[in-house]
A and B are shown apart, each in its own frame.
Chain A
Amino acid sequence: MTKGTSGETLALTKRTLLQTSAAAVLSAPFVNRAWADTVELNMLGWYGTAEPDMVGAFEEANNVKFVPKYYAGGDNMLAALAQNPPGTFDIIHTDAEYAKLLIANELVMELNPDDYPMDDLLHEDFAKFAGHWDDDGNLFSLISRFGHLGVSYNKDALSEKEASSYDSFWMPKLKGKVGHFDWHLPSLGQMSLLAGNANPFDIDDDAWEAVQEKTMSLKPQVGGYFDFGGTFAGLKNGEMLAMCGIGDWVTGILERDGAPVSSVVPEEGGIQWTESYSIVKTSEKKDMALKYLAYTMSPEGQVKTAQMLGYPGHCVTGAGRALLQKEDEAEAKRSGQIKGHKNEPIALIDDGRISYRDIPVQQDLEDWNDFWSEYKNA
C-alpha cells in the first residue's frame, strides 16, 4: 500500500498493476509515433561538425537529430564508409581531395548548384572547386569552409617574423621541439613548398627525391608525431614549440582560450584545406539532408561553421562573412576575415601564396606514406 500526496490510499493490487501495464503497452505505439517524427540524420564528419553548437539550431527548427560518426583523416572516412552497410550515413563532411574519390566511386548524389548562393562565394576558385564537381561539370559536393596550414608556433618561443618561413623548423632553439601532425599529406606538402614547388602535390620524381631529402634533414628537430589530441596537448603544455602540418584550425582553439600560440602562412606559401558536404546516394533522408546543406550556406550556417567549437574555419560566402563581422567581430579579427587584414585568407589566395591540398599527382599515395613511415622510423 502506498499513500498519495492528497492523502488517499492507493492500493497496488494485481488488477491495478495489470491495468497500468496494459495502458502502457497500448500507448507505446503512439509514443513511438511521436518519436518517429524526429528525423535522424547520420553524419560522417570531422570532429565537431554534428555538435550542438553547429547543428543545434537546425535540429530545433526542423525536428532533426544528428547522429555523428567522427573520423580524423580522409582515409578513415573511406574506411568507415567501407565498413558500414549502404544507407548508414546520410551526409558526409570531408576534404576536397577525398570528396573527389567519393564522386569517382559514385557514392554521393548530384546537387543542384542553383540551390546555393554560388555567386556569393568569396573566391572564383570556390565556385568550381576541383574535387567537388565531376568531369562533366556536375556538382556533387558543396563547399562549406576552408582554412590555411602554415607554421604554428609558440609566441613565447618564436616571433611572427621568425615563424614566417618553414626554415624556422630547423632553428637550434627548436631542437626536439618541432611536432608533426601525424598525416603525411600536409607535412610533406609544406616541405614541398619549402623545396620551391609551386604546386606541392604535383611534382616529378626528382622534386620528390628533393622533398624527401629535405624532410629527412628535419628529423633531429622532431619531438613527436601527434593526432589531434596530442597536437593540442603538445602545444598547450609547451612540449612542442612549433608544429608542422597544421594551422589555425588547431591554434585557433588554443588562442581563443588565451594560450600563447598562433599560426602564420609563411613566405614559401601555405596549404589550404577545403571542406565540403555531400549526400550519400543511398540515403533515405535526402530531402532533409538537402535542407541542411542549404542551411550551411546561409549566413547563419556560415557563421556557425566559422565559430565551430571543434575547430575554426573561414566562411566561404560574402553574406556569411558579413554576418560574422557583425555578430562576432573578435573572431573575425582573430582569423583575419576582414578586408585589409594582413592575414586575410582570400588576399593570400589572390597573392598566389596558397596551394590547395591534394593527393600526390605523379606518385602513388602509398609512396608518400611509405616515406612518411621511413621518416618516422629514421
Chain B
Amino acid sequence: MRRLNAYALTFRLPIIIWQAIFFIGPLFFMIAMSFFLVKNYRMVEAFEFKNWDKMLSRNYVWDSYWYTLGLAALSSAVASLVAFPAAFALAYRSSESVRRWAIFLLIIPFFTSYLVRTFSWYVILAESGVINAGLGYIGLGPYTMLNTMFGTIVGYMTLTLPLVVILQTVSLASADRSLIQASQNLGCPPWRTIFAVILPAAKTGLIVAALFAFILSFGDFVAPYYLGGSKPPTLPILIIDTTKAGQQWPRAAVVAVIMMVTLFVVAFTAIFLAYRKRGSK
C-alpha cells in the first residue's frame, strides 16, 4: 500500500478543493436544479422530470442543439485551418525573438474585454462599415455581414484564434526536429513532410487547440447574439431565453446539463484521439 505523501498533497490539495467548491459542487447543484419546479415565479425543491420532458420534447431545443454543435465544429475547423499557416511560420520560419514577440502580441487581445472587441466589429462589418466602404470603391457590395452566420464565426474567431495560434505554435515548435530533417534528407517533398511527419508529431497539441476552440465557441453567448443577431439562437441564448420565461431556471439547467454532457463527450473523444498511439486499437 502506497503511503500518503504529505508534501505532494500540500501542493495538490488546493486545486482539488478549488475544483470541488467551484466546479463539482455547482455541477451537482445544477443537475439537481434541473429537477426542481417553479411555482409562482419561485423555484421550489422537487424531484420531477417535467423540465426534462418539456425541453427534450421541444423541436426548437433540438434545432438549437444541432445548430450550436455544427457552428462550434465549424468554428473549431476554421480556427485550426486559419491558425496553422501562422503557427507554422512562427514555429519553423521565425527566430526565437520574433516567436516570443508574436506570442506576446497574441496574448494582448485577452487584456481587453471580449464584449468590447465584439462590439468593435460593428464598425467594421456593418453595411456602412469599413469593409463595405472599401469594397464600394471597387464597385462591390454592400454585403450584409452582421446578424449572419458569418458574423457569428467572425466573433468566434475573435475569441478563439489567438489561443489556437499560440497552442499550435507551441505544439509545432516542440515537434522532434530530427524527424523533419530525416524526412528532408530522404527527399520527402515539403507538403509530405507536413502531412506525414509534422502533423502526426504535433497531433496532440493541434487537437487540444481545436478542442479549446470548440469548447469556447460552444458555450459562447456574445458572438451569436451580437454578431449573429440571435438568428437562429444557439444553446447559450436559449438558456437566457428560458430564464426570461417566468424564472424557468430549472429548464435552463436542463439545457446547461445537455451542454455539459456534450462537452464531456467531445472532450474525451478529442483527448482519446490526441493521445492514441499510431497503430493501437
Contacts and interface: CB of A to CB of B under 8 A. Distances in A.
B229 A377 contact: no
Contacts of B63: 377
A365 B226 contact: no
B207 to A, nearest CB: 32
Interface string B143-187: 010110000000000000000000000000000000000000000
Contacts of A101: 41
B45 to A, nearest CB: 13
Interface of B: 40-43, 58-60, 63-64, 119, 122, 126-129, 144, 146-147, 225-226, 228-233, 238, 241-249
B25 to A, nearest CB: 16
Contacts of A223: 147, 229, 231
Nearest to B229: A224
If over half of B's interface residues share one DSSP class (helix, strand or loop), that class is named, otherwise mixed; here it is loop
B41 A78 contact: yes
B247 A369 contact: no
Contacts of A370: 58, 60, 245
Contacts of B128: 237-238
Of the four ranges (under 10, 10 to 19, 20 to 34, 35 or more), the interface on chain A belongs to 35 or more
A229 B59 CA distance: 29
A230 B244 contact: no
Contacts of A366: 245-246, 248
Interface in A308-357: none
Interface of A: 73, 75-76, 78-79, 82, 101, 104-105, 176, 179, 182-184, 222-227, 229-230, 233-234, 237-239, 364-366, 368-370, 372-374, 376-378
B244 A369 contact: yes
Contacts of B59: 374, 377
B41 A376 contact: no
B58 A376 contact: no
A75 B243 contact: yes
Given A75-B247, A237-B126, A373 B233 contact: yes
Given A183-B244, A233-B119, A369-B246, A226 B58 contact: no
Contacts of B242: 369, 373
Contacts of B247: 75, 78-79, 82
